[in-house]
Structure 1
Amino acid sequence: MGRGVTLTSEGVTTIEANGCAIFLSASTSINVNTSIWTPSIVTSTVNGYFGVDGELRLVNKGYADGSGGNPIYRYLRAQFVWADAIATNAGDNLYLGANSEVRATARSGYNNSNPIYRNFRAAGLYADFLDSNTATGGTHVYVRPQAGSEVRFTSVGGTTAYQSFRGLFGYMNAVDVNTGTHMYLRPASNGEVRVTATNTTDNWRAIRASEHLPPSSSRETKANIEVYNKEVLSTLRNANIYTYVYKWEEPGTPSRLGVMIDEMPRILHGQRGDSIELYAFASYLAKGVKELIGVTDNHADEINWLNIENQYLKDKVKNQEERISHLEDLLNVA
């Protein structure tokens, strides 16, 4: 069996076979001005104390025993560490390595049975995702800038290269254009932009703007161009104009004025067939006005010819009256 040494404040007091360990009384201390070589240090009480006025440093053995070289810092392994601060040593980054999560909890809430979560404060956060902590009973995730400030999505490391964000719904009081000029609302190729009341899909609401523009009226953007020569006045003559309210509108809503789609030709229907396409309807009315202009132009020509004929007859009557007057003068002389 190996030998052990018992040390007290008086120095070395005994040398005995004791499992190759050094046992120190809890009421004594050892002042050492040189290195202590030992495979382990064990306390006989619950807590063990290392008293230093500066730092407790774990370095390579060669630097610790004074055999030369610069200090090479070594690892510290433990189950828990209680400290007021953790700072980097010689490196720039601080790593917290975990097989699952790094959790910020109350001092007494570190166990996995019922942790009490605490806040985390930093200047920046680099992560692949941000989830709501369901363990706290919360539902929503809040991103809270200062009053009057913004939440901005930019590229990594930048403040001006704005990036997209994607979600299911957006609740906000306004949508402004950022760095561009136009604003695009882009549904699927077979979809629509629909404006309805909050939390509804069929309670329609109005849009107000300075003007409504069709996709394009430029000849360069159109194909299969043909002149529309069908007569429209008979359709307009037979169409009724109605007053109505929509079924989803509240009682007392003022009546609207419009037509019924089943009385209008298919060319005026919207793509889904349940509404009138206003640009097409305006063009249809313009075609009707053009037909009316043609009618009035014909009437104008007829009136002009009647005016010419009337003037000719007036001149002819006047000429006859002058001749009759001359004949009467001759008869009176005779």
Structure 2
Amino acid sequence: MSVVKVGDVYDVVIEPACATRVSEFIGNGVQRALVVHPESMRALGERVTAALRDVGVEAYAASVPDAEPAKTAAVAADLWSLLGQHGFTRTDVVVGVGGGTVTDLAGFVAATWLRGVPVIQVPTTLLGMVDAAVGGKTGINTAEGKNLVGSFHEPRVVLCDTDVLATLPQADWVAGLAEVVKAGFIVDPVILDLVASDPAAAARADGPHTVELIERAIRVKADVVAADLRESSLREILNYGHTFGHAVEQVEQFTMRHGEAVAIGMVYAAELACAAGVLDRSLVDRHREVLTSVGLPTSYASGRWAELETAMRRDKKTRGSMLRFVVLEDIARPVRLEGPDEDWVRAAYAAISG
């Protein structure tokens, strides 16, 4: 078992078969639990629910849609209704079992019910383990953009069951690698070296470096969020690739995997930094090499600039009319680029749309 501490607030447990041991981490005084899971993870959600019932907890399973359709106000309202119908109090708990969309949703519902009840996150995807479930960011989408409604709400514990990863579709595993690679570019270059040493192995859930890659990526996020819970300064570096990536997701109406969009977004950010004169061309090329080696996309369609720019200007990181990006000066040297020249942002788009 590996444990990564997020400051002195909570632990991230990385261990086989830990999902059904959730009862060991719920704490004292919990009488009721709502286990939120996507339809595709019904079997695991029901096992977690049964494990809680075995120790005397009044547990209920709630199935939600798969992927981004789960992150809506309508789905959140249905879950609030369940909590009300079953008499959930502030000492009861919400458990999120699923990928990043479910942990975002479960965290948001927990943060807003009675102004905050405990949440335990059980991420079942690589993306969920290394990104969405760690850090206390919760949220739902609106027609105007991704994660525009949300709250900061730290979990009681995060349980990363590595056995579940074997069930992931290959495309989902590869998409999750984008957030792992991002951690390498912004903080921990050893991640990039591990991927480059055997890209084919990195692209498999059973690769020899899988646990180390997961632990290193989680440790990057844990250290950053522990130092900056509310995203007032340092935590913004975790948004590397996300400004453009979120815009791509919105333009694609959330039909593209988050990790795929972030991979494109990182290359866009690298091209932008190069156009601004702060990043060497060789490091832009390294972005493409690392991401391509594990099967992630590095380009996007031409002719969509107007839609993408509109989406970026709605992004949470924008201030007034000023676009703001996280870019690199070098590997592990992220900085903010505020109000970049229009020629730079357009040149970066031209570079990734070929």
Fold equivalence (TM over 0.5): no
Higher relative contact order structure (alpha carbons within 8 Å, sequence separation ≥ 6): 2
User: Larger radius of gyration, structure 1 or 2?
Assistant: 1
Give TM-score scaled by structure 1 length: 0.18
- TM-score w.r.t. the length of structure 2 is 0.18
More helix, by proportion? 2
